[in-house]
């Protein structure tokens, strides 16, 4: 498995195919079940219904295990395996169940079954909250992981790229001393990071910053874990050119990335389009359980272990915000207080632990909002959940809260960027979700205040970006006496569940999983933004160019 991680994208696709292809397997199951008793047919139907939302199946089982309903959970999993025998995630969860029962022999047997069926070995090596740490003391497990324990268990994931620095995120197997080295062969320039020791308290996570890099330079990097150096040929990055300079670069973005094994090759598809940045705009892991740390970590672990995802993020700087399913539950709101409900700071801490964002709100007002610039393009990333306060009267409602709203307006007012991208986890356009008030449709007064501010201050070059809807759209929001606002929306990276297309949009696509691919170009005589909708198969389903001249008050 680890050898396969060294190969290029073709081998990564093969890895994804080695995991149970649920839909295809179920078709085979139905043909086999025809000769079985009727009760087995009913069992297959129950499993088939569950697998339509694969990301939820094992979360429901984990919930039972955590609530001490271990034997019923095991019975559920045995039923799943009687129908879909090759589902590795079920074997992994059986290992968790038997660890809970202190039956480590059976736990190890199911761990081996899971690995044999394509579950990465790192799933059993990483994280204090996996429910599998009892395996770590077993001699058989130590023999199995002897070589791998000095490699990153999760990551590396790049983030916060500038013209002279970058952050590298990773998780180790147990407490380790980590050091990173970046080297440019072309410029004969080498930078070493400081030593960093991972700890149980922070789930063995390291976030290490490279400083003093040269602008617009290609670097390869290596990772030393307890003195053992791992240098993968695919571990590389390129710094941007000087700050505030004209630039051309590409961004892949989307949301709706529930864990579905047969769709995880989406990360390979994105990699093959060579984006300079990856923006994940909410519903990134679908924990849907803000009070249970182990559930939240489980959802991060299963994504962070995927070889396709690791390959992409090891060389593509990644920036994230959350939406309802990562912050709380469906269509939730956090309310105006920082620590009420009391689970809010804890959920934020887990989020901060797992992403290398430039910052997380402000010192006085925490959250997942921040901004960053790439050349003369600025991204303003918004937190639409932590302070959301939806009241019966629209004028009393706030999605951002007063502090974040003022931060947004101040950031816009002081921006010198040619293009300013306002990034929301939910659609700006009112019609994207019918009459639902979960989008900006429920916060019309606050949205109007933002748009009015743009008009009154003659802010040019604004593009809107969003996620949430399980499809990809392009919208145009008309404004009186000034330029229209274009909204780029995409949020079906891996999800099975789909939302209907919207005829009111300029374009709306939902036939397959898809992502948004955006080229920003301020270097040419005719600068602008090109938005493409690309399917999971790599096909360009739609392309639209927005000229910068169309984003001006003149």
Cβ(533)–Cβ(509) below 8 Å: yes
Q: Residue 356 domain-assigned?
A: no
Average pLDDT rounded to a whole number, residues 2-22: 38
Same domain? For 138 and 207 the reply is: no
Q: Determine the Cα–Cα distance for residues 172 and 170; give it in Å rounded to an integer.
A: 7
Q: Is 285:56 a contact under the CB 8 Å cutoff?
A: no
229 and 247 fall within a common domain: no
Which single residue is written with the structure tokens 């019309």?
444
Q: Tell me the pLDDT tens digit for each residue of 421-442.
A: 999 999 999 999 999 999 999 9
pLDDT of residue 45: 83
Residue 488 lies in a domain: yes
Q: What CATH number corresponds to the domain at position 227?
A: 2.60.40.380
Residue 298 has which token pair? 């489980």
Integer Cα distance of 239 and 182 in angstroms: 12
Q: Are 65 and 159 contained in the same domain? A: no
Q: Exposed, middle or buried: residue 525 (CB in 10 Å: 0-12, 13-18, 19+)?
A: exposed
Task: Express each pLDDT in 307-328 by its tens digit.
Answer: 999 999 999 999 999 999 999 9
What is the mean predicted confidence (pLDDT) over 18-44?
43
The per-residue pLDDT for range 526-543, each reduced to its tens digit, is 999 999 999 999 999 999
Q: Report the alpha-carbon distance of residue 459 to residue 554 in Å, rounded.
A: 11
Cβ atoms < 10 Å from Cβ of 27: 10
* Secondary structure (H, E, C), 508-534: EECCCCEEEEEEEECCCCCCEEEEEEE
Domain contains 358: no
Rounded Cα distance, 117 and 21, in Å: 11
pLDDT reported for residue 18 = 39
Domains held by the chain: number? 3
The answer on 67 and 106 residing in a single domain is: yes
Domain boundary among 107, 133, 149: 149
Predicted pLDDT at 336: 97
Give the model's confidence band at 35: pLDDT under 50 very low, under 70 low, under 90 confident, else very high. Answer: very low
Q: Does residue 353 sit within a domain?
A: no
Both tokens of residue 494? Answer: 């891996």
Alpha-carbon span 385 to 324, nearest angstrom: 7
Contact present, 198 and 206 (Cβ < 8 Å): yes
**Taking Cα atoms as reference points, which of 265, 343, 367, 279 lies closest to residue 307?**
265
List the one residue out of 282, 221, 272 whose CA is nearest residue 250. Answer: 272
Query: Is residue 506 located within the same domain as residue 429?
Result: yes
252 and 187, same structural domain?
Answer: no
Angle at alpha carbon of residue 399, lines to 394 and 405, rounded to 5°: 110
Confidence at residue 46, expressed as pLDDT on a 0 to 100 scale:
80
If asked whether residues 143 and 160 sit together in one domain, one would say no
Residue 357 lies in a domain: no
Contact criterion met (CB below 8 Å) for 461 and 552: yes
Percent of the chain scoring above 70 in pLDDT: 93
Domain-embedded: residue 249: yes
| pLDDT, mean of residues 372-397 | 97
Residue 12: predicted pLDDT: 41
What CA–CA distance (Å, rounded) separates 114 from 87? 8
Residue showing tokens 């909708």 = 533
The strand pair at 189-192 and 377-381 is best described as: unpaired
CA-CA distance, 168 to 172, in Å (whole number)?
13
Last-in-domain residue among 102, 118, 149: 149
Q: Which residues touch 457 (CB under 8 Å, ≥6 apart)?
A: 412, 413
Same domain, 458 and 471: yes
| Strand pairing report for 166-171 and 472-477 | unpaired
pLDDT at res. 56: 94
pLDDT of residue 389: 98
Q: Which of 123, 149, 175 is the last residue of a domain?
A: 149
- Mean pLDDT within 100-111: 97
CA–CA gap between residue 409 and residue 187 (Å, rounded)? 41
The strand pairing partners of 169, in sequence order, are: 157, 207
Where does the pLDDT of residue 48 fall: very low under 50, low under 70, confident under 90, or very high at 90 and above?
A: confident
Residue-range definition of the domain harbouring residue 253: 243-287+298-323+333-344+364-550
For 280, the 3-state DSSP assignment is strand
User: Are both 445 and 489 inside the same structural domain?
Assistant: yes
pLDDT, one tens digit per residue, over 206-256 is 999 999 999 999 999 999 999 999 877 779 999 998 788 999 999 999 999
pLDDT of residue 458: 97
CATH number at 251 reads 3.60.21.70
Q: Is 133 exposed, middle or buried (0-12, 13-18, 19+ CB in 10 A)?
A: middle
Q: Give the strand pairing for 419-423 and 462-466.
A: parallel
The Cα 483–Cα 226 span in angstroms is: 56
């Amino acid at each position: 498995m680890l050898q396969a991680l060294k190969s290029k994208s073709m081998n990564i696709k093969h890895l994804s195919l080695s995991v149970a292809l649920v839909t295809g397997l179920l078709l085979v199951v139905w043909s086999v079940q025809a000769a079985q008793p009727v009760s087995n047919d009913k069992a297959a139907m129950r499993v088939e219904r569950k697998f339509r939302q694969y990301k939820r199946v094992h979360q429901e089982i984990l919930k039972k295990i955590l609530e001490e309903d271990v034997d019923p959970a095991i019975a559920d999993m045995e039923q799943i395996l009687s129908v879909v025998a090759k589902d590795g995630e079920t074997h992994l969860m059986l290992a968790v169940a038997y660890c809970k029962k202190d039956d480590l022999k059976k736990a190890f047997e199911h761990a081996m079954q899971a690995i044999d069926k394509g579950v990465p070995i790192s799933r059993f090596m990483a994280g204090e909250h996996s429910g599998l740490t009892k395996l770590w003391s077993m001699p058989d497990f130590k023999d199995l992981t002897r070589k791998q324990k000095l490699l990153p268990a999760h990551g590396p994931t790049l983030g916060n790229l500038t013209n002279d620095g970058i952050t590298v995120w990773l998780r180790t197997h147990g407490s380790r001393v980590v050091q990173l080295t970046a080297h440019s062969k072309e410029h004969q320039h080498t930078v070493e990071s400081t030593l960093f020791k991972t700890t149980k308290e922070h789930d063995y996570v390291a976030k290490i910053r490279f400083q003093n890099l040269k602008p617009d330079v290609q670097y390869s990097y290596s990772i030393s874990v307890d003195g053992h150096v791992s240098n993968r040929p695919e571990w590389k990055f390129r710094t941007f050119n000087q700050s505030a300079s004209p630039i051309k670069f590409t961004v892949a973005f989307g949301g709706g990335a529930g864990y579905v094994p047969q769709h995880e090759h989406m990360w390979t598809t994105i990699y093959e389009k060579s984006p300079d940045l990856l923006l994940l705009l909410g519903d990134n892991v679908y924990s849907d359980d803000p009070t249970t740390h182990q559930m939240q970590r489980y959802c991060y672990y299963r994504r962070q272990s995927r070889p396709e995802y690791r390959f992409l993020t090891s060389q593509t700087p990644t920036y994230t915000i959350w939406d309802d399913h990562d912050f709380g539950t469906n269509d939730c709101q956090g309310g105006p207080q920082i620590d009420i409900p009391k689970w809010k700071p804890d959920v934020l801490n887990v989020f901060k632990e797992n992403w290398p964002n430039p910052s997380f709100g402000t010192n006085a007002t925490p959250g997942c909002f921040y901004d960053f610039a790439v050349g003369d393009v600025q991204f303003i990333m918004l937190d639409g959940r932590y302070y959301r306060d939806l009241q019966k009267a629209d004028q009393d409602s706030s999605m951002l809260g007063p502090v974040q709203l003022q931060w947004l307006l101040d950031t816009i007012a002081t921006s010198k960027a040619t293009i300013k991208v306002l990034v929301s986890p939910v659609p700006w356009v009112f019609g994207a979700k019918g009459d639902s008030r979960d989008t900006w449709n429920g916060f019309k007064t606050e949205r109007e205040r933002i748009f009015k501010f743009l008009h009154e201050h003659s802010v040019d070059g604004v593009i809107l970006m969003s996620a949430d809807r399980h499809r990809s759209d392009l919208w145009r929001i008309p404004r009186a006496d000034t330029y229209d606002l274009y909204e780029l929306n995409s949020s079906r990276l891996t999800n099975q569940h789909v939302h209907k297309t919207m005829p009111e949009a300029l374009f709306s696509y939902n036939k397959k999983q898809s992502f948004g691919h955006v080229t920003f170009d301020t270097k040419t005589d005719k600068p602008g933004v090109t938005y493409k909708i690309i399917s999971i198969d790599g096909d360009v389903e739609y392309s639209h160019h927005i000229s910068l001249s169309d984003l001006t008050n003149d």
